[in-house]
Copies of this chain bind each other. A is one copy, B any other.
Amino acid sequence: LNADRPHRIDALEYSRWDRSLFEQWRDGGLTCVHVTVSIWEDARATLDEIGGWNRRLREHADLLRPIDRAADLEAARVEGRTGVVLGFQNCSPFEDDLDLVQIFHQLGVRVAQLSYNNQSLLGGSCYEAADAGLSRFGRRVVAEMNRVGMLVDLSHVGARTCLDAIELSSRPVAVTHANPRSFYDHPRNKTDDVLTALAARGGVIGLAPYPHLTPDDCSLADWCTMAARTAELMGGAEHIGIGSDVSLGLDQADLDWIRMGRWTHEVDYGAGTAQQPGWLEPPEWFRGPADFPGLAGGLSGAGFSDDEVAGIMGGNFDRLFSETFEPVGAAAPALR
C-alpha cells in the first residue's frame, strides 16, 4: 500500500476507453479520473455505456477501481489504482423523469452537468444566445441530485443557470473543466461573477489545458499564472483543481457526434471554429494524462505553496467528491 501516494485527480476526460489510456493514467499517477459516459444519450442508450464501464472495470481491475463513495477515493489512492468516477456531460439520460436521478446514482453515476452545448430540460447552455435560468424541472433535479449524492457540474452551462444552481444547491457544486473568461474569451470559460459565487458556496473549478479554452501558444507558465489569478479571485487555492478535458483516440466521427449529436443537420463547430474545425493539437506541456505530474512544477513556479499545489493536483476535488457522492446525512437511511 502507498499511504503517501498523493491525490492526483483529473476532473474531466472523454477519450477512447482502452487499456493504453488506463496505462497513461497509471504513468501519470492519477488516483481518480471523472469520465464522461453520456453526451446526447437517452436513458436506454446510457445503460449500454454503463454496461461497457462495468466490463472495463472488471477487465482492468489491476489498474482501475470504481468510485461510489468517499472511501473508494481513499482506497484507490493507497492501492495504486486509478479511481473512475462516472459522469454525464448532459442531462439527456434523465429524460423528463425525476426518478432517473436516483436510478443512475444506483448505477454509479456521481456527476451530472445540467446542460451541454444546447439548452436542456434543466436550463441554459453557454452556447445559447440567452439563458432563462434553471427550469421548473431543473430545480427539482438539482434538489434530487443533492439528496441522492450526485455532484452538479456547471461546465458547459449558461451563466444565469450557473448562478441559479449555485444558489439553489444545498451542497457545493463544480465546474469540472473550464477557465476564467478573463483569461480567454470563449463561451465555455466562466465569468468572474460565476467563479466568485461558486467559491462562496465551497465549489471547485477544474482548470483546463484544453487548447480551445486557452489563448494560442499558451505556455505552462501562462496557464499557471492564470491559475494563481483565479485562486486570488476565488479567495483561495482550495477552489482550484484540474479538469484536462483531454480526448485521446477519438476521430472526426466521434467529434461530429460530440458536437452535433442528432440535433442539427448542419455543421456545428462546438468549441472549435470554421478555421479550427477538428481536434486541436494539445499543448506540448500536456499531451495526455501521463503529463499530469509536470503541472505541479509549473504551479509551484507561479507561487503556490506545496500544500496548495497538492490541493490543486487532486486534494481539492478529493474533498469535493467526498462531500457530495453520498446521500445527505451521515446516518441517513438507505436511499431505496
Contact = CB atoms under 8 A, between A and B. Distances in A.
Interface of A: 43-44, 47-48, 50-55, 57-58, 61, 65-66, 97, 99-100, 102-103, 106-108, 333-336
A335 B99 contact: no
A66 B336 contact: yes
Nearest to A72: B334
Copies of this chain in the oligomer? 2
A287 B106 CA distance: 36
A54 B106 CA distance: 11
B48 A97 contact: yes
A261 to B, nearest CB: 19
- The SS class assigned to the A binding surface is helix
Nearest to A55: B99
Given A44-B44, A106-B106, A108-B106, A336 B99 contact: no
B54 A100 contact: no
Contact of A103 (B47, B58, B333, B336): B47
A22 B237 CA distance: 53
A58 B336 contact: yes
A142 to B, nearest CB: 18
Nearest 4 A-B pairs (CB), nearest first?
A51-B99, A66-B336, A44-B44, A57-B336
Contacts of A107: 103, 106-107
A336 B37 CA distance: 15
A98 to B, nearest CB: 8
A47 B54 contact: no
A149 to B, nearest CB: 14
A65 B333 CA distance: 10
Nearest to A335: B54
Nearest to A84: B336
A280 B56 CA distance: 50
A108 B106 CA distance: 9
Contacts of A108: 106, 336
A67 to B, nearest CB: 10
A302 to B, nearest CB: 38
Contacts of A53: 336
5 contacts: A48-B97, A51-B100, A51-B103, A106-B106, A108-B336
A48 B99 contact: yes
A99 B99 CA distance: 22
A189 B48 CA distance: 37
A100 B57 CA distance: 16
Nearest to A99: B51
